[in-house]
């Protein structure tokens, strides 16, 4: 198996945006939205899917939707829903591409991104379901770890490889 799988890690796609628009239409109490309605909601979400319910509600209200306190409360879920769609795609990708993070707990690793201007850390855990590692950086609290995608990490000591699948 290629170190980084057959396909890249999933990210938020246009198909996910459409699905998020359908979910959001229910929050807006729009039953059976047609394609034009889904597109209208998608246009707002493309720029504002990470906003809180109040801010998102104001955007929808400006576009002619009726928004009340209940709907604002429902719209608070939109950013979580977007994250959940990506998370489900990542879990399916891990299974379909047979992704297995193979660096052992305790191994010193090099990060392909800098976090807190540090480029090395120690693996403190493995999250198999989304092919990520828990990485502890020197100088951080003992209980503080970063969740880092496995493809952004390089084993600083290649002889420490997890052989358990």
* Cβ–Cβ < 8 Å for 27, 65: no
pLDDT digits (tens, 9 = 90+) for 41-65: 999 999 999 999 999 999 999 999 9
Query: Domain for residue 124, yes or no?
Result: yes
Same domain, 36 and 74: yes
Measured in whole angstroms, how far is the alpha carbon of residue 89 from the centre of its chain?
Answer: 9
Distance CA 78, CA 53 (A): 8
Same domain, 83 and 121: no
Query: Domain for residue 8, yes or no?
Result: no
CATH code, 123: 2.30.30
Mark residue 43 as left, alpha or beta (left: phi above 0; alpha: psi -120 to 50; beta: remaining): alpha
Total number of domains in the chain? 2
pLDDT value of position 114 = 65
Give the residue numbers spanning the domain of 72.
14-96
Residues with pLDDT less than 70, the chain: 1-5, 114-116, 118, 157-165
Cβ neighbours for 73, distance < 8 A, ≥ 6 positions apart: 53
Neighbouring CB atoms inside 10 A of 137's CB total 17
Same domain, 45 and 78: yes
pLDDT value of position 30 = 87
Cβ neighbours for 159, distance < 8 A, ≥ 6 positions apart: none
Same domain, 46 and 88: yes
pLDDT value of position 157 = 66
Hey, what are 75's tokens? Answer: 């719209």
Same domain, 80 and 122: no
pLDDT value of position 158 = 61
Distance CA 88, CA 83 (A): 9
Same domain, 19 and 92: yes
For residue 91, what are the CA distances in angstroms to 40, 86, 94? 30, 9, 5
Same domain, 90 and 142: no
């Amino acid at each position: 198996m290629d170190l980084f799988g057959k396909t890249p890690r999933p990210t938020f796609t246009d198909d996910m945006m459409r699905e998020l628009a359908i979910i959001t239409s229910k929050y807006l109490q729009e039953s059976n939205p047609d394609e034009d309605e889904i597109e209208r909601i998608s246009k707002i979400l493309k720029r504002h899917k990470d906003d809180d319910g109040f801010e998102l509600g104001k955007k929808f209200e400006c576009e002619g939707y009726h928004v009340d306190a209940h709907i604002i409360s429902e719209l608070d879920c939109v950013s979580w829903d977007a994250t959940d769609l990506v998370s489900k795609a990542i879990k399916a990708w891990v299974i379909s591409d047979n992704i297995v993070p193979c660096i052992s707990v305790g191994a010193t690793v090099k990060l392909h991104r800098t976090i807190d201007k540090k480029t090395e850390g120690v693996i403190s855990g493995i999250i198999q379901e989304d092919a990520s590692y828990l990485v502890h950086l020197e100088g951080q609290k003992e209980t503080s770890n970063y969740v880092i995608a496995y493809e952004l990490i390089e084993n600083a000591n290649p002889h420490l490889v997890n052989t358990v699948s």
